[in-house]
Amino acid sequence: MSISQEIESKINIVELAGRYVQMKKAGVNYKALCPFHSEKTASFVISPVKNLAYCFSCHHGGGPIRFLMEMEKIEFSEALHILAKEAGVELKTDYYKERGEKTGDIYDMYRIATDFYREEILRDENKEKLNYLLNRGISRETIDRFGLGYSGNPRELFTRMKDKGFTEQAIIDSGIFVGPGRDKFYGRIIFPIANFAGHTVAFTGRITDKWEPKYLNSPVSDIFNKSAILYGFHLAKSTIAKEQSVIIVEWQMDTVALHQANIYNTVGISWTALTKEHITLIKRFTKKLYLCLDWDKAGVEATFKSLENLYNEDLDIYVISLPDAKDPDEFIKSGGDFQEEMKKALTPIAFYIKEWAKKYDITQMTGKKAIWEELKKMLKHIKNPIEIDAYIREIGKILNLSTDVLYSELKNFREKRIIEDVKKQTSFERTELLGGYMRLYGYFDLFLEKFQYTLEDGMSIPSFFVIKNLLSERESGKNNGAIDLDRLSAIELFIEEDNASLSQEIITQKFLELIGYLNKICFEQEKKILLENIDPNSTEYMIERHKLQEKAKKIGVKFN
């Protein structure tokens, strides 16, 4: 029996899958709604006899290791580590080498380093480092909870890893060292960064003489993906699930401070705003999210960016704004009641208006209009009509404006944007799109009416032959075989999808926008020919120029 088989044999799949899905007994098996795809009738089957959890619709899942890998989006070796621990099976470090698995080695090295740094900070000779943390208001219990340590011996850790059988190259490649025996984090307080399952995947080292920005992070590696890591998530996830909410703060100090204040559903993000990867992870646990990033310029920008990533994610979102404090750590140290501030958290709309009110005078009409312009840019991304309705009501209330006016304003804005988008259309040639519109909506006569040039003039435009052929086929009533009908059908499907929710009026406007583009190309060409071939000092030139000006006006292009 291989070690993975041994581990799987000791794991009860019903119990494991039961942590993620609600299952019902169906004969000898259990059934549940699939956790990997969205469905209304259960096609996810859990078989205790076969020790399998598998979806017959999307074909995800499998034995305990495969199931956990897919559920937690983790590597094989990660899943193996977690289940080995649960099964009480000891994994030897050389196990991965036999399999040629790189990540298994790295996990082990980071675990050895975490333990080593922990031992170091508890040594008598490093007592001042421990006291330093205690004096910064971090309790002994918190130090243990987050596994904080100290790197006080640059060579010993290297030797210890070599003794465990790792090669010098592998140890250096781990990102913990800068060279043989030279610990990258030497002389620093160590904050281990753990992944979802609680395994260390990176470190932050902080120097103690000046605390604030003097920190050093592990490089990105096979096991460390900066934009997916939530600091403290392994410690917070059960509380997040229980309290059905999560608080997002900035990285380590704020996370540590809130956990110490018994607010355990707190996790930290770093370097960037909340990413889509973070959001996917969070959504598996709760639908309610509080953002509490720093209140400096960078923090507010990160809040804006995070809110943008949270559009259409079907979450209840709040922004906590702390009075007179830069961040949660400072707020709590100054005796603030964080739970009380959570109750006063702002909705995204209230947050936006609060921020823009710093720039615009909210009591004046010009200020209200300016803020509404900003809000429209945000609202145009929201797809759900119920959400839009709630936001508009809130805006109307705060800015004291009629919701009817806001609705029709927003509708105009969205429609205008849809038409704008046509101008940027690049997936198909605009001429091909025009052909699609003509066939789909019967816009042949409209085309002939609005196109200001002859079909021969048009032939200098890429793919114009599509339009020319469509028109001649319509004239003659027979297919001359010059058009790729498969491609045209695909274009029609694209247009149908694109226009599914639009009124005929808007669709016509989009079509006219496309014709306007062709007119413009033909005009430019006409202009070029004229200016190149006639003596600019002649009377004829003046006459032709005047004609061009008239035409420019008619088709709406600029010409002086």
Judged by CB under 5 A, the stretch of 30-38, 193-201, 222-230, 542-550 that binds Zn ion is 30-38
Shortest separation between residue 277's beta carbon and Zn ion, angstroms: 21
d(CA 68, CA 535): 79
**In this chain, which stretch among 47-55, 81-89, 188-196, 436-444 interacts with Zn ion, using CB under 5 A?**
47-55
Question: Could you tell me the smallest distance in angstroms from the CB atom of residue 57 to Zn ion?
Answer: 5
Q: How far is the CB of 46 from Zn ion (least distance, A)?
A: 13
Min dist. Cβ of residue 18 to Zn ion (A): 17
| Interaction between residue 157 and Zn ion (CB under 5 A) | no
Distance in angstroms (rounded) separating the CA atoms of residues 506 and 483: 28
| Smallest separation, CB 40 to Zn ion (Å) | 12
Instruction: Decide whether 29 or 509 has the Cβ nearer to Zn ion.
Output: 29
Cβ nearer to Zn ion, comparing 23 with 55: 55
User: By CB under 5 A, is residue 36 in contact with Zn ion?
Assistant: yes
Angle 168-171-177 from CA coordinates, rounded to 5° = 110
CA 387, 392, 395, 396 dihedral sign is negative
Map residues 117-156 to x or -, x wherever contact with Zn ion holds by CB under 5 A.
----------------------------------------
| Interaction mask 466-505, Zn ion, x per CB under 5 A | ----------------------------------------
As a three-state string, the secondary structure of 10-71 is CCCHHHHHHCCCCEEEECCEEEECCCCCCCCCCCEEEECCCCEEEECCCCCEECHHHHHHHH
Q: Is 34 in the site for Zn ion (CB under 5 A)?
A: yes
Using the minimum distance from each CB to Zn ion, give the nearer residue, 34 or 522.
Answer: 34
What's the helix, strand, coil split of the chain in %, to 5?
55, 10, 35
Chosen residue from 24, 25, 37, 547 binding Zn ion by CB under 5 A: 37
Of 505, 491, 485, 519, give the one whose Cα is nearest residue 433: 491
User: CA separation (Å) from 374 to 222, 450, 479?
Assistant: 41, 36, 51
515: Cβ–Cβ under 8 A, 6 or more apart, which residues? 434, 447, 450, 451
Minimum gap (Å) between residue 29 Cβ and Zn ion: 15
Q: Binding string to Zn ion for residues 54 to 93, with x set by CB under 5 A, is what?
A: -x-xx-----------------------------------
In the numeric block, which tokens belong to residue 57?
Answer: 């619709």
> Which residue, 34 or 514, is less far from Zn ion as judged by CB?
34
In the window 379-408, what residues touch Zn ion (CB under 5 A)? Answer: none
Query: Residue written as tokens 């709760």?
Result: 286
Are the beta carbons of 24 and 42 closer than 8 angstroms? yes
**Total of chain residues touching Zn ion, rule CB under 5 A:** 6
Q: What are phi and psi of 345, to 5 degrees?
A: -55, 150
Interacting residue ranges for Zn ion, rule: CB under 5 A: 34, 36-37, 55, 57-58
